[in-house]
Structure 1
């Protein structure tokens, strides 16, 4: 593929948010490796040709100055030297095995497993972890979503989403989909809702965001008071008897204590805490209750703020109490090829040092440093970090960097010499997301769900020793170097795959029967045997063969409605459709079969959050610290911010330094104007910032963007402020351990006053 100028448009996907919109790319440049032109892919089942402006800048990821071209080994003086792949794999396997054999595999911690669009690698990492006996892991979901996952597990034993495209009333809680998207064709959908007089949009957000400007009901609450606001909304439903009682009697349990607690809520007092008109809260609740369908979307603005897990429960009451599950335009349980969210259930696990609740298999990110920086015998002593940058992205970055340095061994698998890679013992360069077969498991649509296996646009980036590799190959080599497959002869299985998929399936089942101990190594076994027989070099897709068979067993009727008779037909379709394929078609009633509570009904009786709700009436509202009178949102999404795979500031056409947004009232009180420099200080640290006076911000609320503070190369100075230099790891939710990044007490001072 390399070195050819072409006018051909090739389908792939954007990798900057969970939507992974389908795009088409035309290559160019002197070596044919430039993503020269980018447009939306009309053949993509979900995005249908839509894309935002961020995708048009993806060449800054593919061809930025950050790319690694050979494995790197840390020297004793802290510098790095390139080494060959054979040397790197041998030494990485030996280093990890040394920790395993000395302290046990449970002391080897895995972090990452894919960003917004590269999830296949994480599937193969499971084999590496199994070969090492690694038990504990985490990723970015444990900074954001685990509180919601935990509530979902208690409520219905599964993951749930809303049908935002068709709901009569859509409620966004701490969510600005104009910028953060998260469902297909977000901006056209928002415009359609705003134009339709029969539909309504509700936004709970302190900021007057682009989404809030379109809303019929904008509850511009005081930062950190989401729980009070949501409790007041739910209380109105109870106090005015707006519940769908017939539906609740048939489909829910545990209403008694919920109803009594909400009946006692003083709506006017809660509205005052939120700095809202109680009439607005009542009108909003009545509109929700009157709708034929309601869909609620919570996101980081509430999931990273005070009372975040309680708020996750309370916002679900808005659609549960009004009977909006398994109905068109309401909430549903999506199908999946590979599930990332998990349903919970089973015995609760805790982390070995902090005793933190492990949700959906993920250790809370905010305790990782605590799990390392101790003399506890069960502490994490080694880390495998893949397609992630915890030294930059986790709370209290200085402490996280200290923790990584304290490890006995660490290896990073990534495309770039990230802030985390600059601390590791070894860095293994992965092929970019456009140089390999890749996929996302963020597939949550209803009633038509889709899966997109992306083909490589380019060969892996060449190098001298000898370049990059896709993560499945890296993990296969590590597993083999650890000797995990020495006792199994894979040759007959590989030969069967070359003859026919049917014969492969038979021999595969026989092999698993003979070697049940090899089941945890399944992904690498498939990669080494079925992978070479797949068309067009699609070896990395071998994992999906097993996933297709599992999906066919679990959601067979939905797959059949999509036109596929069995797993093999589905797998063939995934391989054959470069723009993605609809793999399941659901009916509303299918959702009840996916409720995994003991009685098959929604269970509202969550003692932990109901105790928290009871305590809310006497809790001190936020905002009473004279030393830190402002609330900082650390990590606001804007038109020219993205995740940190964009490492060069040149991609941003505006706001290159990532200004701190301040309200006009606060700016005037501090004597600040647009373009001034100031110092923002939190309990954890301080930073010099560029000021932007913004009508979006309410008084007392300031915001820094996400994605800033990274270096384009290790030698270059970072652009903008790294938000997590200002956040604290002990400032977190007591239930799920998620950080309070959106509610960081702060103060702001003009530089000339210091």
Structure 2
């Protein structure tokens, strides 16, 4: 048995408990570390890492920071207060919280209350319109780029993509933007970097880098690599220099899996990443490796989590999540064939569902007097929006959905319906703070003339 959970259970009531029960299901039935079952895998760079020995919490609301991350739904609560430790500034890079996080009206209010907002992005997004400074970045097609969502098992892969277009005038890649800020702040001197510049071989560079990482430069390792190793990389791949450190760490963390994939060490792995235009096999895992990758001190999966077991015991299975006032369950942000994140803003690229319609079952549409291509009003506790209607027999009665990634400002016109105008930042999991986007109580009405 193999299970992969995603946004359905992760963004619905009891999301943390659902994730916990899912893991109990495959772990207690012996479906771990074997073929056809659940397996943990190697990483080039872990997307997130949680240290259970550190109980990190946000400064204002005391919310747990699992994987060292602030839950998005509490960000406004950490700003809209007179608490002395409230958030006062924000750098937003390649994200659009005003549009893409819950409760857009409250997120706009929060950003407007900050002393400083800096946005780094490829477009003038909804969030950028609330920023004090917008630093235009080159797009993924105009710079060396990669993704760290390397999820394959047992053959894990990685692909460093070369640029296919020249960057637009006035734009910079993110590495150069941060490098200019660090230079302006004077955080690193020429003397600090001299030993790295003077290294004539990669081996000498590695030794100099090791010494540098033992001092004040450790937190600025990506910048140090960008300034020293970066200019020496072929084909202008300067902003890929940070992968040298990632490759070294990967080879030290998974030495057997890296060698099975054909890389003698971290240096060889880095060279393979640079020289392969089609991607490489990063590591070649074995099923026994899954136990070594668990990440606990004793190499075991700790199934008994008292706080979650207590939550299960307290579950009220009779709780009603809808009401007479809001009888529908709205999935606010359904993934569809031609919806994506908010980078792709031109509505002309969508070949189907160009209106971003509200999908509703035939039974509910008939009861409400709704017609295909008509318009409905969707109302939640946070407000109302108008939405085009699509009658769809894949929808269950009582369930409606709006797609993600719409309601964008393009050419000074709104395209489609923004689902987070309807969501509430308080409608969230009490443990992890996860938004319940897939289960928003709503009311649907026919728009009358």
The answer to whether 1:548 aligns with 2:252 is: no
Q: What is the alpha-carbon distance in structure 2 between the residues aligned to residue 392 and residue 606 of structure 1?
A: 35
1:429/1:469 contact within 8 Å kept: yes
Following TM superposition, by how much is the alpha carbon of 1:673 offset from its aligned partner in structure 2, in angstroms? Answer: 1.5
Match of 2:134 among 423, 427, 447: 427
Q: What is the alpha-carbon distance in structure 2 between the residues aligned to residue 724 and residue 665 of structure 1?
A: 26
Map 1:63-78 to 2 at 5 A. Answer: none
CA 469–312 in structure 1, closer or farther in 2 if over 3 Å, else same: same
Q: Which residue of 2 aligns with 1:28?
A: none
Match of 1:477 among 157, 180, 196: 180
Q: Which residue of 2 aligns with 1:486?
A: 189
Q: Which residue of 1 aligns with 2:428?
A: 732
Q: What is the alpha-carbon distance in structure 1 between the residues aligned to residue 193 and residue 130 of structure 2?
A: 37
CA 628–405 in structure 1, closer or farther in 2 if over 3 Å, else same: same
Question: Residue 92 of structure 2: SS of its match in structure 1?
Answer: strand
Q: Which residue of 1 aligns with 2:360?
A: 662
Following TM superposition, by how much is the alpha carbon of 1:601 offset from its aligned partner in structure 2, in angstroms? Answer: 2.2
Q: Which residue of 2 aligns with 1:609?
A: 308
Map 1:103-118 to 2 at 5 A. Answer: none
Q: Which residue of 1 aligns with 2:415?
A: 719
Question: Residue 718 of structure 1: SS of its match in structure 2?
Answer: strand
The answer to whether 1:600 aligns with 2:299 is: yes
Q: What is the alpha-carbon distance in structure 2 between the residues aligned to residue 413 and residue 545 of structure 1?
A: 24
Structure 2 regions of 5+ residues with no counterpart? none
Provide the aligned length of Structure 1 versus Structure 2: 449
Following TM superposition, by how much is the alpha carbon of 1:487 offset from its aligned partner in structure 2, in angstroms? Answer: 7.3
2:212/2:218 contact within 8 Å kept: no
RMSD: 1.3
Q: Which residue of 1 aligns with 2:398?
A: 700
Following TM superposition, by how much is the alpha carbon of 1:343 offset from its aligned partner in structure 2, in angstroms? Answer: 4.0
The answer to whether 1:333 aligns with 2:32 is: no
Structure 1 regions of 5+ residues with no counterpart? 1-293
Q: String of CA shifts for 1:32-67, please: whole Å, max 9, x gaps.
A: xxxxxxxxxxxxxxxxxxxxxxxxxxxxxxxxxxxx
Q: What is the alpha-carbon distance in structure 2 between the residues aligned to residue 613 and residue 508 of structure 1?
A: 49
Structure 1 stretches of at least 4 aligned residues deviating more than 4 Å after TM superposition: none
Q: Which residue of 1 aligns with 2:213?
A: 512
2:42/2:293 contact within 8 Å kept: no
Following TM superposition, by how much is the alpha carbon of 1:341 offset from its aligned partner in structure 2, in angstroms? Answer: 2.8
2:322/2:441 contact within 8 Å kept: no
Under a length normalisation based on structure 1, what TM-score does the superposition of the two structures give? Answer: 0.59
Q: Which residue of 2 aligns with 1:539?
A: 238
Q: Which residue of 1 aligns with 2:384?
A: 686
Match of 1:743 among 429, 439, 443: 439
Match of 2:341 among 612, 625, 643: 643
Q: What is the alpha-carbon distance in structure 1 between the residues aligned to residue 17 and residue 280 of structure 2?
A: 37
Following TM superposition, by how much is the alpha carbon of 1:611 offset from its aligned partner in structure 2, in angstroms? Answer: 1.3
Following TM superposition, by how much is the alpha carbon of 1:352 offset from its aligned partner in structure 2, in angstroms? Answer: 0.5
2:378/2:386 contact within 8 Å kept: yes
CA 449–624 in structure 1, closer or farther in 2 if over 3 Å, else same: closer
The answer to whether 1:363 aligns with 2:70 is: yes
Question: Residue 314 of structure 2: SS of its match in structure 1?
Answer: helix
Q: What is the alpha-carbon distance in structure 1 between the residues aligned to residue 284 and residue 160 of structure 2?
A: 18
Q: What is the alpha-carbon distance in structure 2 between the residues aligned to residue 512 and residue 649 of structure 1?
A: 47
CA 668–476 in structure 1, closer or farther in 2 if over 3 Å, else same: same
Q: What is the alpha-carbon distance in structure 2 between the residues aligned to residue 315 and residue 307 of structure 1?
A: 12
Q: What is the alpha-carbon distance in structure 1 between the residues aligned to residue 322 and residue 165 of structure 2?
A: 55
2:95/2:121 contact within 8 Å kept: yes
Q: What is the alpha-carbon distance in structure 2 between the residues aligned to residue 492 and residue 709 of structure 1?
A: 52
Following TM superposition, by how much is the alpha carbon of 1:664 offset from its aligned partner in structure 2, in angstroms? Answer: 0.9
Q: String of CA shifts for 1:385-410, please: whole Å, max 9, x gaps.
A: 00000010111101101111111011
Q: Which residue of 1 aligns with 2:220?
A: 521
Following TM superposition, by how much is the alpha carbon of 1:643 offset from its aligned partner in structure 2, in angstroms? Answer: 1.2
Question: Residue 450 of structure 1: SS of its match in structure 2?
Answer: strand
Following TM superposition, by how much is the alpha carbon of 1:492 offset from its aligned partner in structure 2, in angstroms? Answer: 3.6
Under a length normalisation based on structure 2, what TM-score does the superposition of the two structures give? Answer: 0.98
Q: What is the alpha-carbon distance in structure 2 between the residues aligned to residue 444 and residue 342 of structure 1?
A: 15
1:659/1:689 contact within 8 Å kept: yes
Greater displacement, 401-410 / 606-615:
606-615
Following TM superposition, by how much is the alpha carbon of 1:717 offset from its aligned partner in structure 2, in angstroms? Answer: 1.7
Following TM superposition, by how much is the alpha carbon of 1:624 offset from its aligned partner in structure 2, in angstroms? Answer: 4.4
Question: Residue 335 of structure 1: SS of its match in structure 2?
Answer: coil
Following TM superposition, by how much is the alpha carbon of 1:656 offset from its aligned partner in structure 2, in angstroms? Answer: 1.2
Question: Residue 135 of structure 2: SS of its match in structure 1?
Answer: strand
1:431/1:470 contact within 8 Å kept: yes
Match of 2:160 among 453, 471, 487: 453
